[in-house]
């Protein structure tokens, strides 16, 4: 349920249709292996984050671009059904809706290849005419759209004094200008390494995460929040570093964990929570998400979220 005075969250991001398959391992080049459990579902980091925020009760609009095809139509309808304002979604007459190929192992870990398709047809100049850019209080970005469009959106937001949440996924090195335009950056561990020009296959310690976050902080944001799976999150600001633990859960599918975290963070901030409380809220949203298959059906309503808190033996936690 939305409340009066609640801030407007606007996600400028991607919609992808997801093709999901379980696999015992990843093939090498030239090899074919057998997987199982194929399904088609809604995805895309931007769309996932918008739905996460909306289902939790946020006032949310989505700005994106889909193809003129069945996947695009059903994706926009899914967003609408989830309560997301889709007035500013464009349809490309030539590019296909974005696609995400998601491979899951038996531990629920995923790896994903995205073909952005129509997501890259959202152009910088399009943002000038999108009404929700102006009415936004909190702007949320990822990296599945064209980089020039993301930069333009961030510049417009920064100039107007809006809070900018940047989920740098899928990450690449050399994004200093985007990091500098952001208020809050939310990488996972591998993205934090990539942003710092390091090998993403290492597992950074808490000290490493703090050090690498401080390197990013020097580029301009007020906070870096590193999402660390079952270890929770690390919130790093100029004056502080806070470890926020995640509740213990039975992990079924980690797809969308980072998206649910970022959507949850945006909602808590839109309701006026202080940043450490918003990170705690987001950690629990992420934990809920990984207990279920798929992404959209694994995103909790506010009611489901409160029940989950009780199950986590946190009955006195009020969000």
The residues that are catalytic are 259
How many angstroms separate the CA atoms of 87 and 114, rounded? 25
Helix (H), strand (E) at residue 92: strand 89-92
Q: Which is nearer to ligand RIB, 170 or 247 (CB)?
A: 170
Three-state SS for 56?
A: coil
13 makes contact with ligand RIB (CB under 6 A) = no
149 makes contact with ligand RIB (CB under 6 A) = no
At closest approach, how far in Å is the CB of 73 from ligand RIB? 17
At closest approach, how far in Å is the CB of 114 from ligand RIB? 5
How many angstroms separate the CA atoms of 220 and 104, rounded? 36
> With contact defined as beta carbons under 8 Å apart, do 197 and 176 qualify?
no
Phi, psi (rounded to 5 degrees) for 227: -85, 130
Per CB under 6 A, the list member of 13, 18, 187, 264 interacting with ligand RIB is 18
At closest approach, how far in Å is the CB of 263 from ligand RIB? 11
Three-state SS for 270?
A: helix
Contact segment (CB under 6 A) with ligand RIB among 14-22, 30-38, 63-71, 182-190 equals 14-22
Q: Which is nearer to ligand RIB, 289 or 309 (CB)?
A: 289
Residues 6+ apart with CB under 8 A from 139: 10, 11, 12, 133, 153, 154, 157, 162, 163, 164, 165
How many angstroms separate the CA atoms of 19 and 238, rounded? 41
Fill in the per-residue mask, 63 to 102: x = in contact with ligand RIB (CB under 6 A), - = not in contact. Answer: -------------------------------------x--
Per CB under 6 A, the list member of 112, 217, 249, 251 interacting with ligand RIB is 112
How many angstroms separate the CA atoms of 277 and 319, rounded? 9
How many angstroms separate the CA atoms of 255 and 29, rounded? 24
- What 8-state DSSP symbol labels residue 302? H
At closest approach, how far in Å is the CB of 237 from ligand RIB? 25
At closest approach, how far in Å is the CB of 47 from ligand RIB? 8
How many angstroms separate the CA atoms of 221 and 212, rounded? 13
Fill in the per-residue mask, 30 to 49: x = in contact with ligand RIB (CB under 6 A), - = not in contact. Answer: -------------xxx--x-
In 3D, which of 122, 167, 125 has the Cα closest to residue 146?
A: 122
Fill in the per-residue mask, 206 to 245: x = in contact with ligand RIB (CB under 6 A), - = not in contact. Answer: ----------------------------------------
Contact segment (CB under 6 A) with ligand RIB among 180-188, 218-226, 250-258, 264-272 equals 250-258
256 makes contact with ligand RIB (CB under 6 A) = yes
Residue ranges binding ligand RIB (CB under 6 A): 14, 16, 18, 43-45, 48, 100, 112, 114, 144, 255-256, 258-259, 295
């Amino acid at each position: 349920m939305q409340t009066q005075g609640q801030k407007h969250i606007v996600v400028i991001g991607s919609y992808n249709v997801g093709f999901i398959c379980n696999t015992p391992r990843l093939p090498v080049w030239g090899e074919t292996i057998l997987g199982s459990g194929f399904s088609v579902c809604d995805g895309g980091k931007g769309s996932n984050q918008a739905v996460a925020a909306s289902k939790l009760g946020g006032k949310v609009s989505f700005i994106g671009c889909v193809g003129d095809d069945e996947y695009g139509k059903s994706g926009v309808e899914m967003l609408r059904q989830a309560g997301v304002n889709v007035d500013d979604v464009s349809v490309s007459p030539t590019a296909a809706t974005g696609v995400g190929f998601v491979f899951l192992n038996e531990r629920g870990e995923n790896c994903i290849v995205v073909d952005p398709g129509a997501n890259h047809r959202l152009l910088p100049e399009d943002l000038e005419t999108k009404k929700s850019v102006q009415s936004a209080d909190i702007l949320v970005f990822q990296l599945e759209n064209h980089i020039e469009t993301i930069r333009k959106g961030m510049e417009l937001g920064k100039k107007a004094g809006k809070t900018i949440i940047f989920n740098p996924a899928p990450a690449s090195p050399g994004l200093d200008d985007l990091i500098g335009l952001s208020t809050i950056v939310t990488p996972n561990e591998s993205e934090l390494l990539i942003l710092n020009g390091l090998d993403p296959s290492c597992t950074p310690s808490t000290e490493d995460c703090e050090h690498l976050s401080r390197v990013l902080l020097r580029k301009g944001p007020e906070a870096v929040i590193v999402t660390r799976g079952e270890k929770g999150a690390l919130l790093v600001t100029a004056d502080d570093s806070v470890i926020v633990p995640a509740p213990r859960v039975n992990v079924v599918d980690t797809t969308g964990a980072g998206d649910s975290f970022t959507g949850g963070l945006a909602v808590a901030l839109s309701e006026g929570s202080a940043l450490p409380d918003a990170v705690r809220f987001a950690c629990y949203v992420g934990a809920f998400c990984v207990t279920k298959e798929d992404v959209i059906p694994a995103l909790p309503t506010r009611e489901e979220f409160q029940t989950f808190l009780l199950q986590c033996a946190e009955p006195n936690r009020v969000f």
